[in-house]
Amino acid sequence: MGGVLSVMDGGMQTEFCHHCDLKQCGTSRNPHCEFHVHIEGNAKYFLALYGVTDQEAVDGATISLVYHPPRGCRQVIDCDEAEDPCTRVALADMPWFPVRAGRMPWFECIKSFAADMLKMEVGRGRLTVSKPVLKLESAYGFSA
């Protein structure tokens, strides 16, 4: 029937997941219940998942929270230090990581990226212009 995913800062002052309504889950627009939330690294957050249903509990039913880093990141594996010969895994090849206590995987990210180019075409000497998708619209004077 519904519910919400909440992502709050460590001081419980700021909500980062304003569009995380569980009514969207399982629909054609969001079949896997995936939400994009922009949060800063190296900080603590509180996650809460509230659900409401009119059906009885199903034996063995589980819920898990998993994440991917932003598109500008690669996972670094098979080394202890950045100077070591490491393997860097692109986002498309990364597994989904479970949200859990303890150390997170090591990611190497492009700093200060604020947009993703979703499409660009070049054809017969003419460039088709595409609008980037802004990561932080408020930083550029736009509002949702």
For the stretch 90-100, pLDDT in tens is 988 999 888 87
Q: Which residue has the higher pLDDT, 116 or 81?
A: 81
Half-sphere exposure of 90 toward its Cβ, with a 13 Å CA cutoff? 2
- Token pair, residue 113, equals 């990226």
* Average pLDDT of the residues of the chain: 75
Phi, psi of 5 (to 5 degrees): -105, 130
Instruction: Provide CB contacts within 8 A for 138, sequence distance 6+.
Output: 144
pTM metric for this prediction? 0.58
Q: Output the pLDDT for position 113.
A: 53
Q: Which band of pLDDT confidence, cut at 50, 70 and 90, is reported for residue 130?
A: very low
Average pLDDT of the segment spanning 4-29: 86
Q: Output the pLDDT for position 112.
A: 57
